[in-house]
């Protein structure tokens, strides 16, 4: 049967790839369809007034290659000709990018849409298995990423192509489920009047959870930065930090299990973001996987679903590159998200 599907025009090379988060911006260039990804040093979004300045300073200063297409993922919903990032001060305006950077084609994707695309492009060395049966895992996949915020995305197969499904699953409500959590919840500071998954599982959420653990146990909250808390827990130098990481791993596993059930993700759940590789030891110790599988009456199903931590660098850039090279393999709707000269 003739394939009657229509695909958007493929991007023109060279392609500028960009992964813009709440804290960091990462850029790469692809010279042509078969060329490797040329990745540049990441920069802090706070160091630049806009995306154009960041590209000019971190890419154009170091390469004579000038892109014809810009394929960028953003941490925030993409609506209209001016996209406001959720956790950063940038407003991305594609028409300004065309004018200042000289590109003729701008495509904007959600950051977790890009990470979902990456699930087709990651190598074995990019992943660490944290439980479940990885042999023959097939079907829908889910990716979660605790970092500056908490993103959630999925990748589902339909009609022989992979369709990334971005969402705002990090903002679902999170509540207590085990005995030691109920007193803890009374001491958690709400965010926007509620306790969401992001309020506890992103960077600032880890610090919020630490304060709640200290308050519940009648201890002093001596630390304030997520990196300090993680370091103290890994070195077993602070019992409050140790308990915080144990509960954090449990809550992340619980949310990951909920998302696996929502999408029936037999293809696995992938944990991305800046926090997870740093606390890999804790995720491997059992609380994460125990909470992931505690989904009665579906424990047997959950035990089969594999979970991985993404430890490789720049997974979102790899996802965008996979789409740039073979857009016909993905069901990405660019309506309202593509600007062409």
In which band, very low, low, confident or very high, does the pLDDT at 147 lie, cut at 50, 70 and 90? confident
Q: Does 198 fall in a domain?
A: yes
The reply to whether 188 and 241 lie within a common domain is yes
At residue 3 the predicted structure's pLDDT band, cuts being 50, 70 and 90, is very low
Band of the pLDDT at 2, cuts 50, 70, 90? very low
* CA distance linking residue 126 with residue 122, whole number of Å: 6
Residue 8 lies in a domain: no
Q: Tell which wins on pLDDT, 167 or 295.
A: 295
Please name which of 65, 63, 73 lies closest in space to residue 31, comparing C-alpha atoms.
65
For residue 23, give the CATH number of its domain: 3.30.420.40
Each residue of 73-107: pLDDT tens digit?
Answer: 998 788 889 988 877 889 999 999 999 999 999 99
What is the band of 7 on the pLDDT scale with cuts at 50, 70, 90?
low
Contacts of residue 150, defined as CB under 8 A and 6 or more positions apart, other chains included, come to 144, 170, 171, 197, 198, 201, 202, 205, 273
Q: Which of 7-11, 164-168, 192-196, 274-278 comes out lowest in average pLDDT?
A: 7-11
Domain count, the chain: 2
Note whether 85 and 189 are same-domain residues. Answer: no
Same domain, 90 and 104: yes
Quote the pLDDT of residue 22. 79
Residues comprising the chain, all counted: 341
**Does 59 lie in the same domain as 88?**
yes
| CA torsion through residues 241, 246, 247, 248, sign | positive
Considering the domain architecture, whether residues 188 and 262 belong to the same structural domain is answered as: yes
Residue 1 has pLDDT above 50, yes or no: no
The per-residue pLDDT for range 8-44, each reduced to its tens digit, is 678 999 999 999 987 899 999 999 988 999 999 999 9
**Could you list the residue range(s) of the whole structural domain that residue 28 is in?**
15-110+316-340
Report, as an integer, the average pLDDT of 302-325.
Answer: 95
- If asked whether residues 55 and 162 sit together in one domain, one would say no
Rounded Cα gap, residues 35 and 10, in angstroms: 16
Instruction: Tell whether 214 is covered by a domain.
Output: yes
Looking at the fold, whether 267 and 336 belong to one and the same domain comes out as no
Residue 147 sits in the same domain as residue 258: yes
Domain identity same for 96 and 154: no
> Residues 295, 261: one domain?
yes
Whether 9 is covered by a domain: the verdict is: no
Q: How confident is the model at residue 5 (pLDDT cuts 50, 70, 90)?
A: very low
- 334 domain-assigned: yes
Of the chain, the percentage scoring pLDDT greater than 70 comes to: 98
Report the candidate in 90, 87, 25, 35 with the shortest Cα–Cα distance to residue 59: 25
- Average confidence (pLDDT) over 249-273: 96
Q: Do 245 and 264 reside in the same domain of the chain?
A: yes
Out of 178-192, 203-217, 231-245, least confident range: 231-245
Q: Which two tokens stand for residue 256?
A: 């990951």
pTM: 0.90
Are 236 and 191 in the same domain? yes
Between 112 and 270, residue with greater pLDDT: 270
Task: Check residue 4 and give its pLDDT.
Answer: 40
Per-residue pLDDT, 8: 61
Domain membership flag for residue 296: yes
Query: Which whole number is the average pLDDT over 163-167?
Result: 88
- Answer yes or no: is 4 within a domain: no
**240, pLDDT greater than 70:** yes
Which percentage of the chain shows pLDDT scores above 90? 80
Backbone angles phi, psi at 324, to 5 degrees: -60, -35
The single residue listed with the structure tokens 């090379």 is 13
Domain containing residue 201: CATH number = 3.40.367.20
Angle subtended at Cα 205 by Cα 199 and Cα 209, rounded to the nearest 5 degrees: 110
**Buried/exposed code over 224-235 (b: 16+ C-beta within 10 A; e: otherwise):** eebeebbebbbe
Pair 240, 213: CB distance under 8 Å? yes
Dist CA 126 CA 218 (whole Å): 41
Buried/exposed 271-285: b ≥16 CB within 10 Å, e otherwise = bbbbbbbebeebbbe
Reading the block at residue 310, the tokens are: 């993404």
* pLDDT on residue 136: 78
Does the residue 7 lie in any domain? no
């Amino acid at each position: 049967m003739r394939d009657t599907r229509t695909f958007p025009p493929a991007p023109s090379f060279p392609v500028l790839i960009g992964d813009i988060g709440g804290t960091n911006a990462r850029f790469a260039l692809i010279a042509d369809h078969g060329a490797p990804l040329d990745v540049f040093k990441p920069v802090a979004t706070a160091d630049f007034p806009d995306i154009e300045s960041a590209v000019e300073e971190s890419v154009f200063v170091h390469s004579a290659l000038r892109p014809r297409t810009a394929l960028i993922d953003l941490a925030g919903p993409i609506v209209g000709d001016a996209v406001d990032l959720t956790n950063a001060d940038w407003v991305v305006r594609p028409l300004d990018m065309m004018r200042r950077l000289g590109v003729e084609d701008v495509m904007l994707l959600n950051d977790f849409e890009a990470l979902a695309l990456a699930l087709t492009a990651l190598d074995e060395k990019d992943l660490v298995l944290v439980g479940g049966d990885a042999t023959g895992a097939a079907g829908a996949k889910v990716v979660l990423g605790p970092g500056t915020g908490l993103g959630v995305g999925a990748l589902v197969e339909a009609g022989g192509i992979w369709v990334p499904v971005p969402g705002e699953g990090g903002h679902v409500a999170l509540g207590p489920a085990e005995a030691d959590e109920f007193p803890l919840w009374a001491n958690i500071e709400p965010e926007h009047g509620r306790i969401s998954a992001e309020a506890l599982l992103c960077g600032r959420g880890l610090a919020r959870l630490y304060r709640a653990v200290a308050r519940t146990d009648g201890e002093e909250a001596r630390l304030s930065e997520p990196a300090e808390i993680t370091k103290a827990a890994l070195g077993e130098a602070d019992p409050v930090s140790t308990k915080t990481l144990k509960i954090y791993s449990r809550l992340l596993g619980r949310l990951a299990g909920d998302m696996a059930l929502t999408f029936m993700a037999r293809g696995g759940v992938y944990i991305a973001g800046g926090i997870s590789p740093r606390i890999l030891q804790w995720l491997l110790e059992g609380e994460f996987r125990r909470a992931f599988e505690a989904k009665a009456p579906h424990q047997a199903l959950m035990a089969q679903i594999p979970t991985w931590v993404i430890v490789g660098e720049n997974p979102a850039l790899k996802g965008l590159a996979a789409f740039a090279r073979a857009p016909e393999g993905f069901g990405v709707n660019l309506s309202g998200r593509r600007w062409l000269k």
